[in-house]
Chain A
Amino acid sequence: MTAVALRLPRTRTLSPRVEVVLLRVAAGVVLLGLWEGLVTWLSPYYVTRPSAVAKVFWEVVSNRPTPLTQLSGSFWFDVQTTIVAVFEGLAIGVVAGVIVGLAMGRLRDVEWALKYYIGALFAMPTIAILPLMTLWFGYTNTARLWIIILGAFLPVALNVYDGVRKLPVTYLEVARTYHARWWNVWFGIALPASLPYLLAGLRLAAGRALVAAVVAEYLLAIKGLGFFIRSDTQSLHENQAMVAVVMLALIGVAINASIDLATKRFLPWYRREGR
C-alpha cells in the first residue's frame, strides 16, 4: 500500500521550451564533437577543427592585424564591405524584380517577351556569367554589385510574376467596379496580394545575393569575406577562414530572421490568411 502511494507519476521538471533548447544545444555539441574527434583521429594537425577555430576566433574578431590576417586586412572591414554590397544589390535587385514581376504578371506583351529569358537565367547558376561581368566591369566592386543584383532580381521577378498571375479574380473585379487606375491595380492590389510570393522570393534572393557576393570576392580577389576566406585558406590559415564562414552563416540567419520579424510586425494579416 505505502509502496504504491509513494510511486508518484513522473512529472516533467522541464518546460517544453527549455527541452527544445537543450536538445538543440546537445545536437550542436555532438556534431562539433564528431568533427573534432574525426579530424583529430584521421587528419594531419593543420586541418581545421572546432577547437582550433575557437582558439583564433577572438584574435580574428578583435581585428588585430596579426601576420595571420595580414593578407586580407581587418576582419570587420571585410564583414562590413560584404554586408553593404549584399544590401545594395538586394535593394536594387528586389525593386527591379518587383517592377518586372508586376509588369510580366499584368502585361501580356511583357510576359511573352521576357518569361522564358528570365526563367532561363534563373535556372542557370548566376555565377556562370561572372567572367562576362569582369569583361564589362573589370575585377571591380561594380562587377560584384551587378552579380548580386542579378542574383536577387531573378527569384523576386519570377515569384512576383507567379503571384500576380494567381491574383484572385474578385480583387480585379472589385478594382474594375470602382474604377481603379492601373497604378492602384499594380501597387495597391497585385503587389500586396502577391506578398507571400514576394517574401518567398526575398528569402531566395537573400541567399543568392550572399552567395554571389562571396563567390565574386573569392574569384575576383576584391575586398570582402569571400576574399578573406580565399587568402587565409591559401596561406594555410584555414582556422581563420572558418571564422569568416561562421560569420557568413550568421549574416544569412540574421537576414532571414529580420524578414520573419518584419513580416510579423508589419503584415499582421499575412500568416492568418492561411496562404
Chain B
Amino acid sequence: MTPASLASERPAAVTDTGGARIQIEGLAMQFGELRVFQGIDLEVGRRECVSIVGPSGCGKTTLLRNIDGLLRPAEGVVRINGAPVTSPPKGVAVVFQMFGLFPWKTVYENVAYGLRMAGASKEQIREKVPYYIELVGLNGFDKAYPYQLSGGMQQRTGLARALAVEPEVLLMDEPFASIDAQTREILQFELLRIWESRPTSMVFVTHSIDEAVLMGDRVVVLHGRPSSVQEVIDVGLPRPRTRDTLATPRFAEVREHVWSELMQEARQAERELQ
C-alpha cells in the first residue's frame, strides 16, 4: 500500500474541521546538543482530532508540551486561536500518561482542581464537578482517593479534570499507555463517545497504531533523527466511531499503511545499527 493509492481511495466524507485552532509553523526543539525534531508544520482544526505516532524518543510528548507552552521551542511558533504560545494558554487541558493526580486530593477535589485554579465560583464547581464525574463513569467515587482506584479509574479522573475546564484544546499524552489492554479499549470508546458529542481540537499522542487510527481524523507520522513529519494520513473513517469501526476494511487499510510507514523506519534503524 503506497501513499498515493491510499489517497485515491479516500472516502468523500471528510470531517468538517471548522478551521484551524492550532497552527504549528517550523517548530524545532532542542535539548542541549540533542535536536529532537525540526521543521514541523501542522494545523489542527476546531473540531478535529489529530493523532501523532512515531518511534520512541521521536519527540511526540515534547511536541505536546510545546503546544501547551510547558516547553519553549528552539525555533518556530505554535499559535492557538492566532496567538503565539509562550506559556500555558487558557482553554488548553492536558491528560497525562501518569495521570498526574494529586494523591492527597479526593476524586472530587482532583476534578475540581482546574476549575478552582481558573477562579470558578462555588456554584460552578458544585454544578460542573459532579457532571463530569458522571460523564466519565465515576459516580459514587467522589470521596475516593487515587490510591483506592484502579489505573483505569485514575485516568477517568484525569480525563474528568481536563474536561471540567471545558477546554478548546485537549492534549492527550499517551493517556492510556499505562493501563491494561481491556480497560484501555473501554476507555478509548468512552473517550470517543465523549469527544464526538462535543468535539474540540484534540491532539492525541500514542504509541499504538490502532489507537491513533481509531481516534484521529488524521494521523501524523514522525520519522528520523531529529524527527520531522514523514506523512500526514487522512483517516477518513466516519463518525461516530464504535467497536464496529475496528472491523471495517478502511480501518485495516489505514492501520496497515501507518504500520508500514513505521516499520520502514524501524528496519532502516536496524540496518544502521548493523
Question: Residues of A with Cβ closer than 8 Å to B?
Answer: 168, 170-171, 173-181, 184, 189, 192-193, 195, 267-270, 272-273
Cβ of B92 under 8 Å from chain A: yes
The smallest beta-carbon distance between A38 and chain B, in angstroms, is: 50
Instruction: Supply 22 A–B pairs (Cβ within 8 Å), ascending by A.
Output: A170-B98, A173-B65, A173-B94, A174-B94, A175-B117, A176-B70, A176-B88, A177-B92, A177-B93, A177-B114, A178-B113, A178-B117, A179-B88, A179-B90, A179-B117, A189-B102, A192-B104, A193-B104, A269-B146, A272-B148, A273-B103, A273-B147
Cβ of B141 under 8 Å from chain A: no
Interchain CB contact under 8 A, A269 and B98: no
Q: Mark B61-94, 1 if CB is under 8 A from A, else 0.
A: 0000100101000000000000000011010111
**Nearest chain-A residue to B104 (Cβ)?**
A192
Cβ of B205 under 8 Å from chain A: no
The smallest beta-carbon distance between B166 and chain A, in angstroms, is: 13
6 additional A-B pairs beyond A171-B102, A178-B113, beta carbons within 8 Å, are A168-B98, A174-B94, A176-B70, A177-B68, A193-B102, A195-B104
Question: Residues of B with Cβ closer than 8 Å to A?
Answer: 65, 68, 70, 87-88, 90, 92-94, 96, 98-100, 102-104, 113-114, 117-118, 145-148, 165
How many angstroms from the CA of A168 to the CA of B99 in the assembled complex?
A: 12
Cβ of A180: which chain B residues have Cβ within 8 Å of it?
117
Cβ of B93: which chain A residues have Cβ within 8 Å of it?
177-178
Q: Which 5 residue pairs are nearest across A and B when measured between Cβ atoms?
A: A170-B100, A272-B147, A178-B117, A178-B114, A192-B104
Cβ of A268: which chain B residues have Cβ within 8 Å of it?
145
Interchain CB contact under 8 A, B118 and A177: no
With A269-B145, A269-B147, A273-B147 in contact, do A174 and B103 touch (Cβ < 8 Å)? Answer: no
With A173-B94, A178-B114 in contact, do A269 and B70 touch (Cβ < 8 Å)? Answer: no
**Nearest chain-A residue to B96 (Cβ)?**
A170
Cβ of A178: which chain B residues have Cβ within 8 Å of it?
88, 93, 113-114, 117-118, 165
How many angstroms from the CA of A179 to the CA of B119 in the assembled complex?
A: 10
Cβ of A267: which chain B residues have Cβ within 8 Å of it?
104
**Nearest chain-B residue to A174 (Cβ)?**
B100
Cβ of B147: which chain A residues have Cβ within 8 Å of it?
269, 272-273
The smallest beta-carbon distance between B187 and chain A, in angstroms, is: 19
Cβ of A168: which chain B residues have Cβ within 8 Å of it?
98
Cβ of B146: which chain A residues have Cβ within 8 Å of it?
269
Cβ of A179: which chain B residues have Cβ within 8 Å of it?
88, 90, 117-118
How many angstroms from the CA of A47 to the CA of B94 in the assembled complex?
A: 71
Cβ of B99: which chain A residues have Cβ within 8 Å of it?
170
How many angstroms from the CA of A171 to the CA of B117 in the assembled complex?
A: 14
With A177-B70, A178-B118, A178-B165 in contact, do A269 and B94 touch (Cβ < 8 Å)? Answer: no
How many angstroms from the CA of A180 to the CA of B148 in the assembled complex?
A: 26
Cβ of B145: which chain A residues have Cβ within 8 Å of it?
268-269, 272
The smallest beta-carbon distance between A7 and chain B, in angstroms, is: 49
Interchain CB contact under 8 A, B104 and A174: no
How many angstroms from the CA of A205 to the CA of B113 in the assembled complex?
A: 33
Interchain CB contact under 8 A, A192 and B102: yes
How many angstroms from the CA of A174 to the CA of B157 in the assembled complex?
A: 13
Cβ of B88: which chain A residues have Cβ within 8 Å of it?
176-179
How many angstroms from the CA of A192 to the CA of B98 in the assembled complex?
A: 18
The smallest beta-carbon distance between A199 and chain B, in angstroms, is: 13
Interchain CB contact under 8 A, A173 and B70: yes
Cβ of A193: which chain B residues have Cβ within 8 Å of it?
102, 104
With A179-B90, A195-B104, A269-B147 in contact, do A174 and B113 touch (Cβ < 8 Å)? Answer: yes
The smallest beta-carbon distance between B117 and chain A, in angstroms, is: 4
The smallest beta-carbon distance between A192 and chain B, in angstroms, is: 4
**Nearest chain-B residue to A184 (Cβ)?**
B117
How many angstroms from the CA of A269 to the CA of B145 in the assembled complex?
A: 7
Cβ of A272: which chain B residues have Cβ within 8 Å of it?
145, 147-148
How many angstroms from the CA of A9 to the CA of B250 in the assembled complex?
A: 70
Interchain CB contact under 8 A, A269 and B104: yes
**Nearest chain-A residue to B106 (Cβ)?**
A269
The smallest beta-carbon distance between B172 and chain A, in angstroms, is: 13
